[in-house]
Amino acid sequence: MGLAPREVMSRLTACLALLLGTTAYGANPGSQYVLSPSSRTILPKWIYQTKGNVTIQSSRNYSSPVVLTGPNASVTYDFGQMVAGIPEFTFGEGHCSFCNTLGLPGYTCGTLCSGLGLSYTESARFVGPASDNSTLYSHEDGTVYLPVFPGRYPTPAKWQRGSFRYLTLSMPSSAAQTQRITVSFDRVLFTAQPSLTNPSQYAGYFHSSDDLLNRIWHAAAYTVQLTTVAANSSVQHLLILQSAGWEESAQADGLIATDEYLSDGAKRDRNPWSADLAVGIRSSVVTQKGLVAVKNALEACFTIQDVLTGYLPYAGSPLGNLFALLGQAYDSDTYHLWTIVGYAEYVLASNDTAFGQKHWSAVIGAISATYQYVDSASGLLNGTKVSDWGRVGQGGQNTALNALYYHTLLLTARIGNLLGQSNNTINDYTVRAAKIKRSLNDLLYDPSAGLFFDNTTTAGHALHPQDGNVLAVLFNLTQSHNQTITILQKLAQRHSPFGALAPELPGAISPFITGLELYARLQAQHHNATIALSLLRTQWKYMLDTFSNSTLIEGYASDGSLNYPFYPDGSGFISLAHTWSTGPLYALSGFVAGLRMSGFDVAEGGGEWAFQPAVEGAGVSWVKAGWVGVRGAYEVEWTLNGGRFEGTIRVPVGSVGTIYLPTLGQGSVRRATVDGKAVNGVSVDGFIRVGSVGGGEHTVVVQV
């Protein structure tokens, strides 16, 4: 069949449009990498193993009946990637000759068969009749026993699991030799991010010439989805202290059951935690439409603020309610401050000034609560509530704590101005912040090491932490570019084949602190992504290949093994899908693709957005990214071909921002244009800056 020249042309144009990514927003150019299901029904991919006497009618069809006969007979289904939700079965004919009256959850005496064991695990390491652990380090989740009647059996929602790849059904060890149960697997009802009808249609996308970066971005986006949970499905810690068995049924105070919030981890704790929001907000900005899950997580923190002291909780409700009962051992200066930072960043990213006003007096009170711990001579906060992200030795005049304190004061002052609350109290924050910055450099910077000490004590001088140094750079506690670059160079010496080492938690790699290190590096060197992307590729590739190809683990050992030194007893408690490990989302969308909402980003000024791609050293020849912000869609795509850079952005009409043209490592360029008009300007820090750019579509060309 021949084509008329006109048809050839139009097909060619359509192809080019696809290549250039001028498809309508929402088409998602990276869709082949999306890990989220397109419906809420999930089926196993294959049977991982069987043990004992198991008859499978059709090994190709996992809805077809499986017969388990005799003690310990078991079948393990593999979903091929991490999933989440409520399994539904159909029980067929069976034969029971025992009745267990131990009172284990789910046992009902006199049913046809009492007790088919159900267990879940994220890692293949823990496949067996008992689940991996989700309820306090010291607690065994064990096996849930389902009552068996012939017919359909949707497992109760409280026994859903926030993330798992393997699901095992097993006969109790006390079953008789002839006892048998016939079971068909109907589906898993996917429960993550309940507000989204089609879970695969989250708002952001990212696609580039680099397969590894695409895999990492999509595993991170899927992780954020799995950690976005219904407000009545947190791990039930209060119950666990009273009896055996685990449940995902705890309700957060201040929210209703149909609300959803961004939690720390999908398996556990499924709870709002403020430090997780330090990464989670940026991750949500570039993947989610609206930030309601972030807002609800913050509500669940504010709602249990200590009214007597003004302190905000280590964990939000519901886990924070338990910590309040347990007393001061679980208080945290850093998480107190991260809650305020989360509040401010949420208000900036969402423009939700109503939320800002609602909690303003709580925030003022929370900041005042710290004053009694401030050293009057140095202005530094002396940490006394030492629970933190897992590190040891928090407390005293600690660098990370004070970098965070500095940032909290300045951000709160900014929000005060935004809300029209500016007065002497607010001005005082800026004065206090300036004093902290001076003292931190006078008392805690170690010029011979080119790094900050951990704290002001002798023991604190023996350690130069990752967290304190990363936060000092990220939050602008350094006094010169030279100092910033020196710190980053020294930290780079700790980049191992498994990732960046965090000596403040000996033997650990923290994807949380390393995610913040990615931001710090890209912010300090907007034009040069070399080290940041090398770290991102090394550490996150290792995490994907080793632990889960579909989600991001919370922490592991510096020898690369599945152990996290924060947890005293064993690796079955480690969460393999954790919000704070998703730093690559914003690193790639915000810094490498290079479109950011500047009101939200500390390093910006002028306008609502900035286009500032980190081209040098990124190792990609083209990239496309997009998301939905307050005013609408933000989209960016660029190509790098030899010495020629071409970029297109689409930003909301009515907005004003700044374009930074990358000069590709050159002091001057042959040609630079915005929307076809030549731009004259000198390269400053690797860019030619063009301010006051309006909304709509803009094209940028740079030829060196």
Cα–Cα distance for residue pair 659/453, rounded to 1 Å: 37
Alpha helices in 419-524 (DSSP H): 424-439, 458-461, 466-474, 481-492, 511-524
Tell me if 528 contacts ligand NAG by CB under 6 A.
yes
Q: Which two tokens stand for residue 51?
A: 């043990």
Kindly report the CA angle at 338 between 302 and 350, in degrees rounded to 5?
Answer: 70
Q: Which of 430, 569, 653, 670 is close enough to bind ligand NAG by CB under 6 A? A: 569
Interaction between residue 668 and ligand NAG (CB under 6 A) = no
- By beta-carbon proximity to ligand NAG, the closer residue of 77 and 547 is 547
The tokens describing 591, both together, are 């810094």
- Asked if residue 331 binds ligand NAG (CB under 6 A), the reply is no
CB of 53 to ligand NAG, least distance (A): 4
- Judged by CB under 6 A, the stretch of 56-64, 259-267, 284-292, 466-474 that binds ligand NAG is 56-64
Q: Which of 49, 111, 530, 538 binds ligand NAG (CB under 6 A)?
A: 530
If you search the block for the tokens 């699991």, which residue do you land on? 161
Quote the CA–CA distance of 541 and 217 in Å, as a whole number.
Answer: 11
Residue-wise burial string across 273-299, b where 16 or more C-beta atoms lie within 10 A, e elsewhere = bbbbbbbbbbbbbbbbbebbbbbbbbb
Name the minimum Å distance from CB 465 to ligand NAG: 7
523 binds ligand NAG (CB under 6 A): no
Q: How far is the CB of 159 from ligand NAG (least distance, A)?
A: 17
Q: What 3-state DSSP class applies to 514?
A: helix
Q: Is 408 in the site for ligand NAG (CB under 6 A)?
A: no
CA angle 81, 82, 86 (to 5 degrees): 120
Packed helices 292-302 and 333-350: angle between N→C axes, nearest 10 degrees: 140
Pick from 105, 115, 396, 515: which binds ligand NAG (CB under 6 A)? 396
| Contacting ligand NAG within 239-278 (CB under 6 A) | none
For residue 631, state whether it binds ligand NAG (rule: CB under 6 A): yes
- Looking at the Cβ atoms of 211 and 676, the one nearer to ligand NAG is 211
Cα(199)–Cα(192) distance, integer angstroms: 8
Span interacting with ligand NAG, options 7-15, 204-212, 493-501, 543-551, rule CB under 6 A: 543-551
180 binding ligand NAG? (CB under 6 A): yes
Three-state DSSP class for residue 680: coil
CB of 425 to ligand NAG, least distance (A): 4
Q: By CB under 6 A, tell whether 104 contacts ligand NAG.
A: no
Nearer to ligand NAG, 375 or 697 (CB): 375
Q: Which one of 39, 173, 328, 417 is in contact with ligand NAG (CB under 6 A)?
A: 173
Give the interface size with ligand NAG as a residue count (CB under 6 A).
64
Q: 72-91: which residues touch ligand NAG (CB under 6 A)? A: 72
Cis bond upstream, residue 269 (ω within 30)? yes
In 92-231 the beta strands, taken as DSSP E runs, fall at 113-121, 144-148, 151-154, 161-170, 180-190, 205-208, 228-230
Computed from CA positions of residues 408, 409, 413, 419, in that sequence, does the dihedral angle turn out positive or negative? positive
Phi and psi, residue 683, nearest 5°: -80, 120
Q: Determine if 287 is a binding residue for ligand NAG (CB under 6 A).
A: no
Q: Is 163 in the site for ligand NAG (CB under 6 A)?
A: no
Asked whether 267 and 326 are in contact (CB, 8 A), the reply is no
Q: Counting contacts by CB under 6 A, is residue 601 touching ligand NAG?
A: no
Q: Is 296 in the site for ligand NAG (CB under 6 A)?
A: no
* 67 is a contact residue toward ligand NAG (CB under 6 A): yes
Which residues inside 465-494 make contact with ligand NAG, applying CB under 6 A? Answer: 476, 479, 482, 485-486, 489
Neighbouring C-alpha atoms within 13 Å toward the C-beta of 220:
35
Residue 454 makes contact with ligand NAG by CB under 6 A: yes
* Residue 138 binds ligand NAG, judged by CB under 6 A: yes
- Where would I find the beta strands (DSSP E) of 191-314? 205-208, 228-230, 234-235, 248-250, 260-262
Answer yes or no whether residue 372 interacts with ligand NAG by CB under 6 A: no
- In Å, how far are 440, 472, 479, 496, 520 from 453, measured between CA atoms? 10, 11, 16, 21, 18
Q: Please tell me the distance from the alpha carbon of residue 124 to that of residue 87, in angstroms, as a whole number.
A: 19
Residue 560 binding ligand NAG, by CB under 6 A: no
**Site residues for ligand NAG per CB under 6 A:** 53, 61, 63-64, 67, 69, 71-72, 126, 132-133, 138, 140, 173, 180, 184, 351, 353, 360-361, 364, 375, 382, 384, 393, 395-397, 421, 423-425, 454-455, 457, 459-460, 463, 476, 479, 482, 485-486, 489, 504, 528, 530-531, 545, 547-549, 569-570, 572-573, 602-603, 608, 616-617, 630-631, 665
